[in-house]
Amino acid sequence: MYIHIVEIGESVRGEDVYIVQSGSGEINDNLMELLIMINACKIASASRVTAVIPCFPYARQDKKDKLAGLDDGSVKTRSKNYDWKFRSRAPISAKLVANMLSVAGADHIITMDLHASQIQGFFDIPVDNLYAEPAVLKWIKENIPEWKNSIIVSPDAGGAKRVTSIADRLNVEFALIHKERKKANEVASMVLVGDVKDKIAILVDDMADTCGTIVHAADRLVEAGATKVYAILTHGIFSGPAISRINNACFEAVVVTNTIPQDGHMRDCPKIQCIDVSMMFAEAVRRTHNGESVSYLFSNVPY
């Protein structure tokens, strides 16, 4: 059995401590390491302990809801009699993680693009939820020469607020794709709301796991007349068949931030490009330590 043993190498008494650990890879091991590290610093008399978590673990389990479909449009079922319409006994794991961080001794959380903004309300301690949007806007303007002829697209209705914000700041149009699922294990049909004909379509979402949704969305956009399709995602999990799906898809590029390490994914898939958001977290740490406002980072990229 693997046991996490943490020993702080120097005195943290009275210090303002920042612990960086992303909720990716071996998520449960990494989360346990983070909790033990926070507690070790706290009982060593650190004045404040801030957990810097670029990708918040278990963020997708933020409420009891209809049974979540897989990215490829199918639905998990436990038995023929399983009621797939509602998960009455599903955990709200994001709230549990919030409780564990608080009990371990965290005084402050810094993260990026929470899957649902209500997760901030799960904490009784301050949470700074940074946004990748400023870095995304910068990448679009620097890497897509014809960006003024683009349209920002959400692959589902839940991301409408995100794409409208980006579209407004670029002064371009937006569209969304509505997924319809008739019954369990039936691939969802996709209804495009908006006109993408002869435009560069930029799919924007907060995360991609197996990439079934964004690949289907890209195909739908090409069918509707889009000249090129880009995908821009904050958290690139890329599990299971994700890499092969992207390689076989019609994307010009799939752009992700490095809230999750992407070196291996970029080696296996030349279409994947990375936006470095380390400066945003570094500036958030500096401003927090000096007692300055962090809201500047919600609309600007530090240099």
Q: What is the pLDDT of residues 33-78, one digit of tens each?
A: 999 999 999 999 999 999 999 999 999 888 876 544 444 433 343 4
**Alpha carbons 205 and 75: distance in angstroms, whole number:** 21
Domains 16-71+90-130 and 132-276 share a fold: yes
Question: Is pLDDT of 155 > 80?
Answer: yes
Pair 135, 301: CB distance under 8 Å = yes
pLDDT range class, residue 151, cuts 50, 70, 90: very high
Residue 188: is its pLDDT beyond 90?
Answer: no
CATH number of this structure's domain 16-71+90-130, picked from the four choices 3.40.50.880, 3.40.50.2020, 2.60.200.20, 3.40.50.410: 3.40.50.2020
pTM for the structure as a whole = 0.87
The residues spanned by each domain of the chain are 16-71+90-130, 132-276
Question: Between 3.40.50.2300, 3.30.450.90, 3.40.50.2020, 3.40.720.10, what CATH number should domain 132-276 receive?
Answer: 3.40.50.2020
> Could you write out the DSSP letters of every residue in 94-138?
HHHHHHHHHHHT--EEEEES-SSGGGGGG-SS-EEEE-SHHHHHH
* pLDDT above 90: residue 96: yes
pLDDT per position as a tens digit, 1-43: 566 677 888 999 999 999 999 988 889 999 999 999 999 999 9
Measured CA to CA in angstroms, residue 152 lies from 5, 114, 297 at distances of: 47, 20, 22
The whole-number average pLDDT for the span 213-240 is 93
139 pLDDT tier (thresholds 50, 70, 90): very high
